[in-house]
Amino acid sequence: MDLVKAPAKPTLKEKIGYGLGDMSSSMFWKIFSYYLPIFYSDVFGLKPQHAALLLLITKLYDAISDPAMGIIADRTQSKWGKYRPYLLWIAVPFALVGVMSFYTPQWGYGLKHVYAYVTYILMMTVYTAINVPYGAMLGAVTDDSREKSVFSSFRMFFAYIGSFIAMGIFWLFEKSIIGTTRVLPDGTSKIVKGVGDAAPMQWTFVVSIVALLCAVLFFLCFALTRERVKVENKSFAEGSSIKDDLKALVSNAPWWLLLGAGIGQLLFGSIRGGAAAYYFSNILGTGALVTCAVFLTIGEISQMVGVTLAVPLSEKIGKRNTFIACLLFIAVLSIFIYFLPNTAAGMWGLLILQVLICLGIGASSPLIWSMFADVADYSTLKNGSSSTGLIFSSSSMAQKFGGALGGFLLLQVLAIFSYDKDAVVQAPETLSAIKALMSYIPAIGSLLGVVCLMFYPLTTSKMEEIRVELDKRNASGK
């Protein structure tokens, strides 16, 4: 790999610009993670088990599309670089397909089921097409390991700003509808307790606002960033095959371990986040001190604060140890939620735990992106080729697989325990299952991530050795 460095270090403007990219992605990703399950089951009208299967089956497609996009991005040549042009090309399709995913056609159940599959697969396709290159840009904006952590922190800080804005929009949405009366298609009426009771077109309108913001943010990310490190894949220039790249990837042990940790981390967030809407609608009800969107917004603010802890903590105890400590912290605190009483004191306890858990999530979130960049450097030393786009495609795959598997488990548990969207009060076993989905079930995912990280070998000292060896190799021209 040849590195041709730009004459100056990355500027603050570039770091902010880079952050705007994940600010956009996060707005849609949080809506998909937190609200898509309840949209499919309570608004769109899919049976929970069908919605669960949809989320899981489509991940088989992602297992192909994500690495394919990484390979394409690594081989892209344009005046804007390898990865940056996709921010420009895919911004509008990303927004349009997002809106389509939250539209409910007035068709029969079978056709609606097909529509859900088509739009969800399309959404994951455009998400891959813009996010894999965006993530891989981290290997092209700087070759300094510490700077990568700084860029990752900007990325996650702005991601949580995006999530905060999205949750704020949904808070206004909830505030405007809770307590109102909605007339159902069969002529009956019901009191609206949460977003699951909203009319389908209300959902489409709200998501359209978010989609417009997402497109603008991707355009700004493109305009404010640049690829400051030119990455030339020597083996590709010499005619290596895609098979060689994939072989190098699957033999990369740190990649497998970090992939597992990422899936565990996303399982925690997607199960717990998706369960929140059910928890507030069916357990806390309209008497809750805050709405579900406010609860989630408090979490996003706490995660923004937690992001600022990532760099100082990782510099003190290392990226891997910080990641492990955060995952253990959030797992233990999450379990406590199951034992909270449905009282005012219990609600305050829930809010306190939400703040603490999200501080831990925020502190861990930037690390995985920086660690994937380290994995790319490890691949460069081991194989002579970084395949940065291919490696970062795994981060997108981990994110989508963890999120989809979390959504599958959430909806499958609800189906097993007889969740009924039309019930005034759910059965006791259903309520118990919803509490479990907010507490100890997501904690299992976090602990799986800890197990993977215990064997992750790229410590701070190991990365220093790799950087020295790469510098020597580059200086010699090899």
The domain spans of the chain are 13-228+240-476
Is this structure's pTM higher than 0.85? Answer: no
Question: What is the amino acid identity at position 376?
Answer: A
18 Cβ contact partners less than 8 Å away, ≥ 6 residues apart: 137, 138, 141, 151, 154, 155, 221, 224, 225
Question: CA 43, CA 110: separation in Å to the nearest integer?
Answer: 16
pLDDT for residue 387: 67
Interhelix angle 440-454/319-336, rounded to 10 degrees, is: 160
The pLDDT mean for the chain works out to 87
pLDDT tens digits, 286-321: 667 788 888 988 998 898 899 889 889 998 999 999
Structure tokens at 442: 């997501």
pLDDT tens digits, 340-358: 998 888 999 999 999 999 9
- Alpha helices (H) in 292-387, listed in sequence order: 292-317, 319-336, 344-383
110 Cβ contact partners less than 8 Å away, ≥ 6 residues apart: none
Structure tokens at 240: 């290596």
- Greater confidence (425 vs 360) lies with 360
Q: Which of 277-281, 302-306, 326-330, 368-372 has the highest mean pLDDT?
A: 326-330
pLDDT for residue 447: 97
As a CATH number, domain 13-228+240-476 is 1.20.1250.20
Question: CA 217, CA 118: separation in Å to the nearest integer?
Answer: 26
The CA R_g of the chain, rounded to the nearest whole Å, is 22
DSSP state letter for 11: P
